[in-house]
Amino acid sequence: TSCTWFLNIIQNEFRSGKIDLESTMKLLEKLQIPFDYIHVKHVFKKTIDKRKDNAINIEDFRAIYRTIVHRSEFHELFCVYSQKNKFLADTQLLDFLRKEQYETEACEMSALEMILKYEPIEEVRKRKQMSFEGFVRYMSSEECSIFRKDHRTVYQDMNHPLCDYFISSSHNTYLISDQLIGPSDLWGYTSALLKGCRCVEIDCWDGSNNEPVVYHGHTLTSKIPFHSVIKVIDKYAFVASDYPVVLSLENHCSPEQQEVMADYLENILGDKLLTSTIGDAQVTQLPSPEDLKFKILIKNKKVGTIEEGLLRRGLESHGEVVEISDSDSVSSDEDETEDKAPLFPNRGITKRKCDHRSSPPPRKKPKMKKIKIAIALSDLVIYTKSERFVSFEHSLANQKCYENNSIGELRAQNFVRESAKDFISHTTRFITRIYPKGTRTTSSNYNPQEFWNVGCQMVALNFQTLGLQMELQNGKFLDNGGCGYVLKPNFLRNLHSTFTPENVGMNGNPMSLSIKLISGYQLPPSSLSKTNKADPLVHIEIYGVPQDQIKKKSSVLKSNALSPRWDETFSFTIQVPELALIRFCVEDEVSLVSNEFLGQYTLPLLSLKRG
């Protein structure tokens, strides 16, 4: 049956006897098989080796098809459940789904639906069976992705206050290269929002003709008009996710241009812009992502309280400016320069007594500077008021639930080491944003995991920079349907939590994980190899609390990028699975001392599908 079906589809193409590489590709497409051009080209060239013409006959095509499609590991599995028959009966398929894929809910109906969806041969479909061709198509489909199907849509409770979520956040979103001389580009905002990013940063400066501009101040990065940025945000804010977008303003504009900014925000964003509280004017807790669906929030300095701002709403505030005091040694969103100064200014002290329960030592007395804020812009700040961070004690005593802090990575790393318990207590109450140190001029990133471990909501990264850190970011936010909000574990939401990353205590929920690395398929060939023969190996890495961090690697398989077969098993014990990410990284062993990156996939440990 399979043979007749196969010949019926392909024989027309061979009427003139032979076909070339391009026709071979088209025929594989017609057979609805996922294939990689480079690998097919390589197998094709091997087939015509030493021939005069660059064409293959019908038998050659069948051989190429088998090489690409009929994978031995699939065939072995098929034979086990079909009891060496050529077809799987619906009952056998059901057996496979329950035993191998752990689909305990599967019933005869599920098996029939799969046969209808993946079996290409009509005759076999009618008999309620699945051929090996259908089995291969099922095993190569999204349905067999390692990522749990129920985590591909929003499945978490979205009615908690905003501070209970990890929020996908970008740093200096307008930059698409380095931090000093590279271009600023609207594409930075488009691509971040399309990846589900929910907090973007806008550095605003006075421009000519009373038009505010966006760029990295005091550098040679190019400038883009503020209104163009807002138009792009208006267009792309809710393409990837319905949940709220926060515009984090680093505002260096004069009061006159701040008013221009306020006008653009109101006129371009219209109803999307949140300009008043939801329900009660008295704010005792932050609203939820569900409450704020399709809303854009402004994160900026604010004059006075939300209630005072709401009373002014509707009154003419044009030209009204208020001066507020700020410090130029403790950073806020207004100016991310903190990390260029030493962390502990008094370098003369060589010994320092450490009290692990307290915040780090006091810094120099801050010089106070006056910041002028236009009331029109201030009143657009509702639930996300930027407040300079003094200390955990100060926040606990004085900070309101709608006030948030930005902390530079070096200072935040110090808090993780010295005062993790206080840090977690802080992040259970207030949205906390972490940003890269100023010396990362090449737009490199820090490891976000250590800040997620203490519950920081907005761990802002340079989205334009590929690498491990962004792979962890992308992997973490695949969760919950890629909506940009991931509910923090209970021990990072509970105000009286005793959890710290170094001392998991009662909050541990140990889990045994066993991963069998079976095979690879059509891996990207090495760029350093003239043939497509990579020597692949796989790293399996866990990122999470310090005691869960571990890396294991497979053996190296020589000269096989098409279908390497490992059959190796790896075992892990994870103490805090709720915070763990698992990363599979495939490399080509170029020499004994160096490997070339071929590809990777990172996902939350609890989003791993069994089977």
DSSP secondary structure letters along 1-55: -HHHHHHHHHGGGGTTS-B-HHHHHHHHHHTT----HHHHHHHHHHHTTT-SSS-
What is the pLDDT averaged over residues 43-54? 87
Predicted confidence (pLDDT) at residue 358 exceeds the cutoff of 60: no
Q: Is 136 helix (H, G, I), strand (E, B) or coil?
A: helix
Instruction: Give percent of the chain with pLDDT exceeding 70.
Output: 92
Q: Write down the pLDDT at residue 365.
A: 58
Q: Is the pLDDT of residue 50 over 90?
A: no
Task: Centre a 10 Å sphere on the Cβ of residue 483 and count the other Cβ atoms it contains.
Answer: 21
User: Does the structure show a pLDDT above 70 at 472?
Assistant: yes
d(CA 68, CA 415): 53
Grade residue 146 by pLDDT with cuts at 50, 70 and 90: very high
pLDDT at 366: 58
Give me 54's structure tokens: 């660059």
> What is the per-residue pLDDT across 508-554, written as a single tens digit (0 to 9) for each?
999 999 999 999 999 987 776 666 678 999 999 999 999 999 999 99
Given a cut of 60, is residue 363 above it in pLDDT?
Answer: no
**Known catalytic membership, residue 171:** yes
pLDDT given for residue 19 in this prediction: 92
Q: Boundaries of CATH 1.10.238.10 in the chain?
A: 72-144
Using the predicted structure, report yes or no on whether residue 74 has a pLDDT greater than 90. yes
Average pLDDT over residues 352-366: 49
* Residue 328: predicted pLDDT: 40
pLDDT of residue 361: 52
**Architecture (CATH level 2) of domain 1-69:** Orthogonal Bundle (1.10)
Cα distance between residue 6 and residue 3, in whole Å? 5
Report the pLDDT value the prediction gives residue 215, as an integer from 0 to 100: 94
DSSP string, 150-182: GGSS--S---S-GGGEEE-BBSSTTBSS-SSSS
pLDDT at 335: 52
Q: How many CB atoms lie within 10 A of CB 29?
A: 11
pLDDT at residue 35, as a whole number: 86
pLDDT in tens, 481-517: 999 999 999 999 999 999 999 999 888 999 999 999 9
Query: CB of 427 within 8 A of CB of 492?
Result: yes
pLDDT at 285 over 80: yes
Q: Reply yes or no on whether the pLDDT at 179 is more than 70.
A: yes
Measure the CA–CA gap between 163 and 402, rounded to whole angstroms: 9
Q: In this predicted structure, what is the pLDDT of residue 247? A: 98
- pLDDT-derived band of residue 318, with 50, 70 and 90 as boundaries? confident
**C-alpha 332: how far from chain center:** 25
Contacts of residue 453, Cβ cutoff 8 Å, sequence gap at least 6: 416, 501, 544, 545, 579
Give mean pLDDT, residues 583-587. 97
Q: Where in the chain is the domain with CATH 3.20.20.190?
A: 162-327+368-492
| DSSP letter, residue 278 | S
Q: Which of 39, 151, 160, 216 is catalytic?
A: 216
Structure tokens at 593: 């001392």
The CA distance from 388 to 270, in Å, is 29
* For range 223-250, the mean pLDDT: 98
- As a whole number, mean pLDDT of residues 396-401 equals 96
- Report pLDDT for 286: 96
Tokens of 516: 């069998």
Mean pLDDT over the full length of the chain: 90
For 89, the token pair is 């009966």
List every span in the chain annotated with CATH 2.60.40.150. Answer: 511-607
352: buried, middle or exposed (CB in 10 Å: 19+, 13-18, 0-12)?
exposed
Topology classification of domain 511-607: Immunoglobulin-like (2.60.40)
Report the share of the chain in percent with pLDDT over 90.
75
The dotted CATH code for 72-144 is 1.10.238.10
Judged against a pLDDT cut of 60, whether residue 334 lies above it is answered with no
In whole angstroms, what is the distance from residue 501 CA to residue 486 CA? 19
Confidence of residue 115 (pLDDT cuts 50, 70, 90): very high
Task: Give the per-residue pLDDT at 340.
Answer: 36
- CA angle centred on 497, ends 495 and 502, rounded to 5°: 140
Of 1.10.1040.10, 3.20.20.190, 3.40.50.1820, 3.40.50.300, the CATH number of 162-327+368-492 is 3.20.20.190
Q: Of how many residues is the chain composed?
A: 611
What are the pLDDT digits (tens) for 336-355?
544 433 333 333 333 333 44
Give yes or no for a contact between 507 and 530, defined as CB atoms under 8 angstroms apart: no
Exactly one of 171, 394, 426, 539 is catalytic; name it. 171
**pLDDT one-digit tens code per residue, 415-462:** 999 999 999 999 999 999 999 999 999 999 999 999 999 999 999 999
pLDDT at res. 593:
84
467 pLDDT above the threshold of 80: yes
Q: How far is CA 1 from the centre of its chain?
A: 45
- CA 387, distance to chain mean position in Å, is 27
